[in-house]
C-alpha cells in the first residue's frame, strides 16, 4: 500500500494569489501524485499571505498544525509532505530553518521538493549526508533574499512614514475603509477622499452611540437601515459585527489622526511607531462627537448588564433592589403589564417583591426634575451637557496618553520623557478643572416650570429613553426601590455619587417626596413646592440627619423565610391596579 501524500502551500503576499501561485503549487502536487500513483489527502495545509522570514508559519500557521498532527500520530509515519521548493518551507536563518526541516523528518515524514523532484528522509540522509549541502545552500539563499527585501521595503516604508508626518503625504491604499486614495488631476498629487456610503455608515454609528445604543443594537440598526458592512472577508458573515462597530467607534482616524505602526499584524499586536499625526486623513466626525462617544462607551461598560429586555430599561445601571442592591430588570407578568424584578430573585438569593414598571418610570421622570438637569428638554442645557460629555471623553484620552508616557519613563528614564510626563499631567489636571467648571455651570440650570418639563419629556421614544438613562449615569444617580408589602406603597431612595439625596414614595400613581437633602430642598423651593418657612427647617434636618447616609453597595444576606409564606413571590394573576382579587392570598 502506497503512502499518503500531503500538500503544503505558502506564499508571503495575498497579491500572489492573483499571480497564480496558489493554482501553480496545487497543480504541481496533483501532477506528482498522479505520476507516482500516490493518494493526495483532501486536506491541504495552506499558509496564504504568511511570510516565512520570521518563521510564523512554523510557529503559528498551518505548517505548525501539520507537525503537531505528525507528532500526535494523526498523520502516520511514512507519509509524504509535498512542497514546491525549500523556500516554501522556511526562510529562517540556516540553523533555525534546519531545525524545522529536522522536526518534520523526525516524525518519519519524507519531504519532497516538487521543483526538482528530490526526496529527503532521515534514512536517506543517514546514507548520504551530502544531500544536506544543497538544502543548506537553498536555506541560506532564501533567508538572504528575504533579509534584503525586508531592508529595502523597510527603508522605503520609513521614508513614506517620514513624508506622511512632515508633508501629510498619503501612504497609498493604507487608509481606513471609509476613505480611498485617489489621484488629483489638478494638483498632480494623491489624496484621500470619502467612500460616501461607508462614511455615512460611520457617522450613523456615532449618532446611534450618542443616543444610547450599544454595539449589538447599532449593528442591528445599520442592517435595518440598509448600510452595508465594509468589505466582508471571504467566508465571513456579510452582517455587521460588534467588533467592527467597537473598533470603528474607537478609531481616531475618524477625526483625521494617523497612528504609524511597526511590526507585523499577523496574529500579533503591532506597536506604535511614534506619536499620532493629526490632520493626516480628512475627518468625517468632529472631535467633540468622538470624545462624547468615548465617554458614553465608558459609561456603558461600567453599568453593563447581563440581561436585557426588548424595550430599553430606563433603570438599567441606575435602579437597585432596596433589599440586596441587585440590578432591576424588566419582566412581563401577562395582561400587558410590565414589572421590575431584582436580578438576584431569579437565583433565589433575594426575596424582594416586584415593582410595577409604569409608575416607576413616572418616579424616574420626577427624579430627573428634582435633580434639575434640563438637558433633555432645553437646548441651552443640552449644549452644556454635550460639552461636559465631550470634555469627559477628552479626559479619558489625556489619561491614556499620561499612562503611556509613564510606562515609557519607567522603562527608560530620561529628562525629555520626564518633561513630557509633566506636560501631560498638567493637561490632565486642566481637563479635570474644566469638568468641574462645566458641572457647576450645568448645576445652575434648574427645572423651574415643572409643567413644561414634563410636557417636553417624551420617554416613549427610544432615543430619549437612552439619553435619559445615560444622563442619570453621568450624574452619578443610583436609586434603591423597596416594596414592603405585595401591594401598596413603593419607597425609593436616591443617591448621587453614593451619597443620599432624597427619598420618594409612590402609591396608586401618586408621588410624594417625604425626605430630601439641601440640594433638593432648594430646588423644590425654586419650583414653589415648599414655602419659605419650610426651607430652613428642611435644610437643617437634611444636613444633620441624612446627608452622610451612603449607598449600601454589597448584596446583603437574605433573611431565612423558610417557615413563612412568601406571597411576594406569588406568580398568579396581576391586575391593572396591582391588587389581588378576593380569592388571592394577601399579606398579613
- Identify the residue with better confidence: 563 or 38: 38
Average pLDDT, the chain: 77
Asked if the model's pLDDT at residue 458 lies above 70, the reply is yes
pTM (predicted TM-score): 0.45
Q: In terms of Cα–Cα distance, which of 536, 468, 531, 543 is closest to 501?
A: 543
Give the model's pLDDT for residue 269: 53
* CA-closest candidate to residue 356, choices 343, 338, 331, 335: 338
Of the candidates 62, 86, 66, 67, the one whose C-alpha atom is nearest the C-alpha of residue 135 is: 86
Predicted confidence (pLDDT) at residue 578 exceeds the cutoff of 50: no
Binned at pLDDT 50, 70 and 90, residue 553 comes out as low
The C-alpha atoms of residue 12 and residue 444 are separated, in whole angstroms, by: 63
Query: What is the pLDDT averaged over residues 104-120?
Result: 92
Burial (0-12, 13-18, 19+ Cβ within 10 Å), 143: buried
- Residue 493: per-residue pLDDT: 92
Q: Are 372 and 523 in contact (CB under 8 A)?
A: yes
* 55-87 per-position pLDDT tens digit: 788 888 899 999 999 999 999 999 999 999 888
Q: What per-residue confidence (pLDDT) applies to 524?
A: 62
Amino acid 235: pLDDT: 56
| pLDDT-based confidence at residue 199 (cuts at 50, 70, 90) | very high
Check residues 380 and 516 and name the one with the higher pLDDT. 516
Residue 249 in contact with residue 205, Cβ under 8 Å? yes
Residues 501-528: what's their mean pLDDT?
A: 74
pLDDT computed for residue 551 by the predictor? 63
**Contact 33/39 with Cβ under 8 angstroms?**
yes
| pLDDT value of residue 249 | 93
Mean pLDDT of 500-509: 87
Quote the percentage of the chain above a pLDDT of 90.
20
Lowest mean pLDDT among 372-376, 396-400, 430-434: 372-376
The pLDDT of residue 248: 93
- Comparing C-alpha atoms, which of 290, 262, 272, 299 is closest to residue 404? 272
Cell triple for residue 444?
445652575
Query: pLDDT, tens digit, for every residue of 322-370?
Result: 989 888 988 876 666 888 999 888 778 888 999 999 999 999 988 888 7
Predicted confidence band of residue 570 (pLDDT cuts 50, 70, 90): very low
> Which CATH architecture fits 4-145?
3-Layer(aba) Sandwich (3.40)
The average pLDDT across 464-471 equals 80
Residues of the chain within CATH 3.40.50.1390 domain(s) are 4-145
List the single range of 231-240, 289-298, 568-577 with lowest mean pLDDT: 568-577
- Confidence (pLDDT) at 307: 44
**Higher pLDDT among residues 238 and 328, named by residue:** 328
Within 8 A by CB and 6+ apart from 453, the residues are 369, 374, 377, 447
Amino acid at each position: 500500500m502506497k503512502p499518503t501524500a500531503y500538500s503544503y502551500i505558502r506564499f508571503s503576499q495575498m497579491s500572489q494569489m492573483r499571480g497564480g501561485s496558489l493554482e501553480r503549487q496545487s497543480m504541481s502536487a496533483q501532477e506528482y501524485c498522479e505520476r507516482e500513483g500516490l493518494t493526495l489527502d483532501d486536506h491541504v495545509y495552506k499558509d496564504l499571505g504568511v511570510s516565512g522570514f520570521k518563521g510564523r508559519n512554523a510557529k503559528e500557521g498551518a505548517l505548525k498544525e501539520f507537525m503537531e498532527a505528525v507528532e500526535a500520530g494523526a498523520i502516520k509515519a511514512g507519509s509524504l509532505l509535498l512542497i514546491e521548493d525549500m523556500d516554501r518551507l522556511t526562510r529562517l536563518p540556516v540553523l533555525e530553518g534546519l531545525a524545522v526541516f529536522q522536526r518534520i523528518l523526525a516524525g518519519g515524514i519524507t519531504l519532497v521538493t516538487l521543483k526538482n523532484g528530490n526526496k529527503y528522509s532521515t534514512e536517506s540522509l543517514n546514507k548520504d549526508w551530502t544531500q544536506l549541502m544543497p538544502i543548506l545552500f537553498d536555506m541560506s539563499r532564501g533567508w538572504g533574499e528575504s533579509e534584503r527585501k525586508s531592508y529595502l521595503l523597510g527603508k522605503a516604508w520609513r521614508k513614506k512614514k517620514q513624508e506622511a508626518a512632515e508633508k501629510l503625504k498619503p501612504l497609498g491604499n493604507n487608509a481606513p475603509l471609509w476613505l480611498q486614495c485617489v489621484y488629483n488631476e489638478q494638483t498632480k498629487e494623491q489624496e484621500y477622499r470619502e467612500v460616501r456610503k461607508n462614511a455615512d455608515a460611520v457617522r450613523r454609528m456615532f449618532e446611534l452611540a450618542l443616543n444610547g445604543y450599544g454595539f449589538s443594537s447599532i449593528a442591528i440598526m445599520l442592517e435595518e437601515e440598509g448600510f452595508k458592512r465594509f468589505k466582508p472577508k471571504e467566508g465571513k458573515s456579510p452582517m455587521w459585527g460588534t467588533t467592527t462597530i467597537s473598533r470603528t467607534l474607537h478609531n481616531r482616524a475618524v477625526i483625521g489622526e494617523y497612528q504609524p505602526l511597526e511590526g507585523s499584524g499577523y496574529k500579533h499586536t503591532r506597536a506604535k511607531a511614534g506619536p499620532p499625526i493629526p490632520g493626516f486623513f480628512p475627518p468625517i466626525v468632529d472631535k467633540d462627537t468622538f470624545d462624547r462617544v468615548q465617554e458614553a462607551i465608558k459609561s456603558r461598560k461600567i453599568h453593563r448588564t447581563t440581561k436585557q429586555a426588548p424595550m430599553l430599561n430606563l433603570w438599567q445601571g441606575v435602579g437597585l433592589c432596596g433589599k440586596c442592591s441587585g440590578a432591576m430588570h424588566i419582566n412581563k407578568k401577562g395582561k400587558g403589564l410590565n414589572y421590575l424584578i431584582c436580578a438576584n430573585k431569579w437565583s433565589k438569593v433575594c426575596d424582594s417583591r416586584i415593582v410595577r414598571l409604569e409608575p416607576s418610570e413616572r418616579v424616574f421622570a420626577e427624579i430627573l426634575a428634582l435633580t434639575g438637569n434640563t438637558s433633555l428638554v432645553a437646548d441651552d442645557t443640552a449644549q452644556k451637557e454635550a460639552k461636559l460629555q465631550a470634555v469627559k471623553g477628552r479626559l479619558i484620552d489625556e489619561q491614556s496618553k499620561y499612562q503611556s508616557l509613564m510606562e515609557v519613563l519607567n522603562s527608560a528614564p530620561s529628562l525629555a520623557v520626564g518633561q513630557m510626563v509633566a506636560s501631560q499631567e498638567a493637561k490632565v489636571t486642566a481637563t479635570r478643572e474644566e469638568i468641574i467648571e462645566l458641572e457647576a455651570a450645568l448645576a445652575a440650570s434648574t427645572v423651574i416650570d415643572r409643567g413644561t418639563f414634563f410636557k417636553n419629556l417624551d420617554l416613549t421614544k427610544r432615543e430619549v429613553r437612552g439619553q435619559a438613562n445615560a444622563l442619570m449615569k453621568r450624574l452619578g444617580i443610583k436609586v434603591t426601590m423597596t416594596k414592603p408589602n405585595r401591594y401598596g406603597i413603593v419607597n425609593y431612595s436616591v443617591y448621587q455619587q453614593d451619597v443620599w439625596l432624597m427619598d420618594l414614595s409612590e402609591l396608586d400613581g401618586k408621588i410624594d417626596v417625604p425626605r430630601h437633602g439641601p440640594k433638593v430642598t432648594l430646588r423644590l423651593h425654586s419650583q414653589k413646592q415648599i414655602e419659605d418657612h419650610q426651607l430652613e427647617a428642611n435644610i437643617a434636618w437634611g444636613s444633620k440627619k441624612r446627608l452622610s447616609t451612603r449607598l449600601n453597595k454589597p448584596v446583603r444576606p437574605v433573611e431565612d423565610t423558610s417557615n413563612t409564606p412568601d406571597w411576594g413571590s406569588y406568580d398568579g394573576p396581576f391586575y391593572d391596579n396591582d391588587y389581588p382579587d378576593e380569592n388571592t392570598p394577601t399579606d398579613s
